[in-house]
Amino acid sequence: MLALILRRLALMIPVLLGLLVLVFVLTRIVPADPAAVLAGEQASPEQVAAIRATLGLDRPLHVQFVRYLVQVASGDFGTSLYTHRPVVQDLAERMPATIELALASMLLAILVGIPLGAVAAVRRNGWLDQIIRVFTIGGLAVASFWMAIMLQLVFSMQLDILPLRGRVDAGVPAPPFLTGLYVIDYLLAGNLALARHALWHLVLPSVTLALPATATIARFTRSSVIETLQKDFVAWERAVGYPRRVMLWKYVLRNSLSATVTQVGLLFGLFLSGSIVVEAVFGWPGLGDYLFSAITTADYQPVMATTLAIGVIYAVVNIMVDLVQARIDPRVAEQR
Amino acid sequence: MPLALRRLLADRAALLGLAIIAVMLVLAFAAPYLVPFPEDAFDAKPWQRLEPPSAEHWFGTDGLGRDVFSRTLMGTRVALMIALLVVLGAMLIGIPLGLSAGYFGGWTGDGIMRLTDVFQAVPQLVLALAFAAVMRPSIGSAMAALTLTYWPFFCRIVYGETRRVRSGLFIDALEAQGAGTPRILFLHILPNVAPAIIVRATIGMGVTILVAATLGFLGMGAAPPTPEWGLMVAESRKDLPEGWWQSAFPGLAIFLAVLGFNLFGDALRDVADPRLRRSR
């Protein structure tokens, strides 16, 4: 198992290095000159040149890249031209917001998606299956920015029962930092009212983010449950007279979840890119929002660091998926 | 009638998808002659701002007084054009790379496949945003960004299929007879890989419409006053909650368009690859 983890981690490195080269080259051919942006509009050409020299932007590209690699290796991702703070600090502050959102969405998608898929499989071709099928196909066709705005329109602007944006209302103090997840931190601080307040703020963003994921999970669960139901052991269990409920939720589902777990890993990528849009619409101060504002302001240090962070998260989640899969289905582990 | 085609036509979902695609194509070609207010796609008419849906303006008017129905219809052209060009571009890059990687293997194959790994190390939207931001925001740069981030999907699939086909005896026979490499690749392997490519391209149309609209929404795609669906939703936000029709209809258009390609693409996949057939 350990060897498997180490091998996967080793395979990750060249890919991430390649990603770094790609994004590095991209950000250095940006037409907007960061030195000029930093110097301000009234700066003389000499001042801009001086700033360019201090930032090392006047050196050849490969020299800049090596310098950047050395910097990154020591944990320094530069300073954001926009927030004037070390990028690492910005990322550390924003990461929990995105993790909270992604976890809530994942939980929602799993809790809704797996039962939906299982029910659809059991009632195969019935009217319930048809309804669920419409949902699973339609759920993948909805643009999340549009879904977000429609939810805001109905639940925040018209009905006024859920907050419009943010992790908490303006002026509400953040909880003392423990996990960085507001709902949990408020709970740990013993403040039930604020925990509920934070939870309400999570509802619309996580529903938006969870929709396509729920659809995907339901779909994969459905087809693998159908496949499992046709296996011999199910016929045996049925013949021996296992209670239907136990048979279905314990044996059939466990044997069917392998494909769903793989999907959960892929869905994490969906969450990372979805968070850019969802965080932009809901004013959610996370990674996606950070990346997007960095891109629009040609602030390339944060762009590089965030893209790399997303690449790392993506790779690590996929390794974790392999491990979980080996737990659920020992046959997977033996194959490697 | 071939079995595959018969199976496709017996699938209600596939037919619905095909119908949506067909209607979209017709609308895209005929939009300039169909729309009630052709000049409304671009020109502001401040005296009729934010009128709700009515017999005259089916989808209402937007914050600049333009007819939302006309703009949504014209948006079909924009969306389809972007998706078609992006998918074609991605095919032009991805297919030859995938064919060579699968056929030659070795260093060439490894190099190409590692390159696709790098491009797929982050979700497509993240990379596309970075590409689009480097260029000046416009439809052209959005299309370039989408093409440059979508080709790995074709490359992957073609690679896998090529490896499978390459192990066939008929390839050995061709090589023994002295057939040239391009001939083997494009005349003998490509046709065998084509079904997988067609499936991917159909699904890719839906994906691209969705991601292109997202780029437009985030201000990294079409510039005003282009009637692009994502941009229309973005522009509508300042008039909420009063002008809800302005946001609702372009979003519904995106939904229908993507739904059409997804439905049809799924059905095609079932027919093209029986191993993956939806159990029913």
Residue type at position A75 = G
Closest CA to A96 of A318, A323, A279: A279
Using CB atoms, pick whichever of A140, A223, A314 lies closest to residue B121. A314
CB of B41 within 8 A of CB of B58? no
| CA–CA separation, A6 and A32 (whole Å) | 41
Query: A183 CB near a chain B CB, below 8 Å?
Result: no
- Are A227 and B279 in contact (CB < 8 Å)? yes
Q: Between chains, do A146 and B233 touch, taking CB under 8 Å as contact?
A: yes
CATH homologous superfamily of domain A96-297? MetI-like (1.10.3720.10)
> Helices marked H in chain A — which ranges?
2-28, 34-39, 45-55, 61-73, 87-122, 127-139, 144-151, 182-188, 192-229, 232-240, 244-246, 253-282, 287-296, 300-328, 330-335
| C-beta atoms of B280 and A277 within 8 A | no
Residues of A in contact with B126 (CB under 8 A): 272-273, 276, 291, 307, 310
Q: Residue B241: is the preceding peptide bond cis (ω within 30°)?
A: yes
Q: How far is A190 from chain B (nearest CA, A)?
A: 37
Nearest-Cα residue of chain B relative to residue A300: B130
Q: Which residues of A touch B233 (CB under 8 A)?
A: 143, 145-146, 149
Helix (H) or strand (E) holding B129: helix B124-134
Q: What is the ipTM of this complex?
A: 0.89
DSSP state of B135: S
Which residues of chain A are in CATH 1.10.3720.10 domains?
Answer: 96-297
CB-CB under 8 Å, A14 with B230: no
Inter-chain touch A150–B230, beta carbons under 8 Å:
no
Backbone angles phi, psi at A290, to 5 degrees: -65, -50
pTM for the structure as a whole: 0.88
Amino acid letter at A74? Answer: S
pLDDT band at A336 (very low <50, low <70, confident <90, very high): very low
| Cβ-based contacts under 8 A for chains A and B | 143
Q: At B211, list the tokens.
A: 């991601």
* B189 contact partners, CB below 8 Å, separation of at least 6: B99, B102, B103, B162, B165, B166, B171
- Helix A192-229 / helix A127-139 crossing angle, nearest 10 deg: 120
Neighboring chain A residues of B136 at a CB cutoff of 8 Å:
31
A276 lies within 8 A of chain B by CB: yes
Confidence of residue A331 (pLDDT cuts 50, 70, 90): low
CA distance B90 to chain A (A): 18
Residues of B with Cβ-Cβ distance to A227 under 8 angstroms:
279
Q: Which of A27-36, A144-153, B116-125 has the lowest mean pLDDT?
A: A27-36
**Closest Cβ–Cβ partner in B121, B129, B247 for A311:** B121
Tens-place pLDDT, residues B133-170: 777 788 888 999 999 999 999 999 999 889 888 888 88
Chain A contacts of B259, Cβ < 8 Å? 137-138, 141
- Is A31's pLDDT higher than 70? no
Nearest C-alpha of chain A: how many angstroms from B187? 33
pLDDT computed for residue B278 by the predictor: 46
Query: Is the per-residue pLDDT at B85 higher than 90?
Result: yes
Can you give the pLDDT at residue B279?
41
User: What is the dotted CATH code of the domain comprising B3-32+60-276?
Assistant: 1.10.3720.10
Question: Residues 148-177, chain A: which have Cβ within 8 Å of B?
Answer: 149-150, 152-153, 157-158
The answer to whether the Cβ–Cβ distance between B114 and A311 falls below 8 Å is: no
Residues of B in contact with A15 (CB under 8 A): 114, 117-118, 121
Q: How far is B179 from chain A (nearest CA, A)?
A: 36
At residue B42, does pLDDT exceed 80? no
Q: What pLDDT sits at residue B274? A: 59
CB contact under 8 A, B123 and A296: no
- Tokens 């408020």 sit on residue: A186
For residue B277, is pLDDT > 60?
no
Mean pLDDT across the stretch A302-331?
A: 81
Whose tokens are 């769903």? That residue is: A260
Task: Flag whether residue A269 sits within 8 Å of chain B, measured between CB atoms.
Answer: yes
